[in-house]
């Protein structure tokens, strides 16, 4: 079976307007798979879709949808009616705020939980059945190092990423004999436009277009290369050597030690420099 026969003819990529999702979409298209691209910004999606179409010749559909909205799954089900979706790649999911739990009304973390937990679960339920019936397909849920232990400013985010990690592992276990490959892709620091916007707001970068490298970050293309070659090597992939080493160190600790270690390091790349810069 060719790659497109195994994982096509259509791939659904949630969070495809930039960064890892856009790179993943391109990688699928380069292997002959048509694309349904999801994100909130129609214009950005259209640009990504047009560039991929021009370079690869695959068919694309760009669907603007807010994955935190209750109607998101119904919108996606409508937009994909009649298409044979062979891959679901759920990438949308960073936390643009990185703030203490009590800094926002509870609706803010609840929206994140809907986008990161409820909607991917609904989509897995909708698309995995037909994949299993066909005996082929792939599901990739993007998780994060934040899933590995609780940490400040990541109450809802870390918990939602732990949900994704365990959901993908459990789905892998249930579907492994059906021919459907499920992978939890656990990412460490990744140089995406969303991370650069956040770091700019925190005064770590002078602006999102600041060319300064982010220490220890992998690129979206590096993430995608690792994910694509490991689609059938689930349930879990830690992406990048730095994260693989960190995860081994964390596994050697008790949960309490791990939380303390993460607390001591939280600062790191996410440290808020806005106050330091404002100080005389
Ligand atoms: N960057 C990192 O350092 C890092 C580290 C660990 C894990 N990760 C994981 O990697 C994934 C990608 O992260 P990222 O840094 O690229 O940021 P991101 O904010 O998840 O952005 C990725 C894509 O998701 C879309 N998106 C975000 N919220 C959405 C919503 N409510 N509805 C529809 N689309 C939405 C964005 O497009 P629109 O803005 O157009 O909607 C964009 O195309 C996430 O799952 C994140 O948890 C990232």
Please check whether residue 170 lies inside any domain of the structure. yes
Residue count of the chain: 280
Q: Look at residue 279 and tell me whether its pLDDT is greater than 50.
A: no
280 lies in some domain: no
**Residue 93 Cα to ligand 1 middle (Å):** 4
Range(s) of the domain holding residue 227: 3-274
- Mean of the per-residue pLDDT values for the chain? 94
Q: What percentage of the chain carries pLDDT values higher than 70?
A: 95
Rg of the Cα atoms in the chain: 19
**Closest ligand 1 atom to 41 CA:** 40
**Domains identified in the chain, total number:** 1
| CB-CB contact of 192 with 105 (8 Å) | no
279 found inside a domain? no
Q: Pick from 35, 39, 146, 226 the residue to mutate for probing ligand 1's pocket: most ligand atoms within 8 Å of its CB.
A: 39
Which of 194, 196, 238 is the pocket-test mutation for ligand 1 (most atoms within 8 Å of CB)? 194
* Interatomic CA distance for residues 64 and 45, integer angstroms: 8
Q: Is 244 a domain residue?
A: yes
Quote the CA–CA distance of 165 and 186 in Å, as a whole number: 8
Q: pLDDT by residue (tens digit) across 42-70?
A: 999 999 999 999 999 999 999 999 999 99
pLDDT at 277 over 70: no
The residues lining ligand 1, judged by C-beta closer than 6 Å to any ligand atom, are 15-21, 39-41, 44, 65-68, 91-94, 115, 142, 144-145, 187, 189-190, 192, 194-195
Of 109 and 202, which is predicted with more confidence? 109
Rounded to two decimals, the pTM is 0.96
Q: Is the peptide bond before 235 cis (omega within 30 degrees of 0)?
A: yes
Residue with tokens 């602006």: 207
> Which helix (H) or strand (E) is 14 found in, with range?
strand 10-14
Residue 273 has pLDDT above 80, yes or no: no
User: Which pLDDT tens digit goes with each residue over 75-124?
Assistant: 999 999 999 999 999 999 999 999 999 999 999 999 999 999 999 999 99
CA of 2 to the centre of ligand 1 (A): 29
The three-state secondary structure class of 188 is: coil
d(CA 158, CA 266): 13
Enter the tokens of residue 30.
């380069």
The CATH code of the domain that includes 242 is 3.40.50.720
Q: How many angstroms separate the alpha carbon of residue 164 from the centre of ligand 1?
A: 14
- Closest to 13 in 3D by CA, of 107, 86, 110: 86
């Amino acid at each position: 079976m060719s790659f497109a026969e195994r994982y096509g003819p259509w791939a659904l990529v949630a969070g495809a307007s930039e960064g890892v999702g856009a790179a993943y979409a391109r990688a699928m298209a380069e292997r002959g798979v048509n694309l349904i691209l999801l994100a909130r910004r129609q214009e950005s999606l259209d640009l990504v879709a047009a560039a991929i179409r021009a370079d690869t010749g695959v068919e694309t559909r760009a669907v603007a949808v807010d994955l935190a909205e209750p109607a998101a799954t119904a919108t996606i089900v409508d937009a994909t009616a009649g298409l044979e979706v062979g891959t679901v790649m759920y990438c949308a999911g960073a936390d643009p705020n990185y703030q203490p739990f009590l800094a926002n009304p509870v609706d803010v973390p609840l929206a994140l939980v809907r986008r990161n937990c409820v909607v991917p679960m609904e989509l897995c339920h909708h698309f995995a059945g037909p994949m299993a019936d066909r005996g082929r397909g792939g599901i990739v849920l993007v998780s994060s190092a934040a899933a590995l232990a609780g940490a400040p400013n990541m109450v809802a985010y870390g918990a939602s990423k732990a949900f994704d990690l365990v959901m993908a592992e459990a789905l892998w276990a249930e579907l492994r004999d059906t021919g459907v490959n499920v992978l939890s892709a656990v990412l460490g620091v990744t140089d995406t436009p969303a991370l650069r916007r956040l770091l700019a707001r925190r005064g770590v970068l002078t602006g999102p277009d600041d060319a300064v490298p982010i220490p220890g970050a992998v690129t979206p293309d590096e993430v995608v290369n690792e994910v694509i070659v490991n689609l059938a090597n689930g349930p879990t992939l830690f992406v990048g050597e730095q994260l693989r080493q960190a995860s081994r160190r964390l596994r050697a600790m008790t949960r309490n030690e791990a939380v303390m270690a993460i607390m001591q390091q939280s600062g790191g790349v996410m440290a808020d420099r806005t106050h330091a810069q404002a100080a005389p």
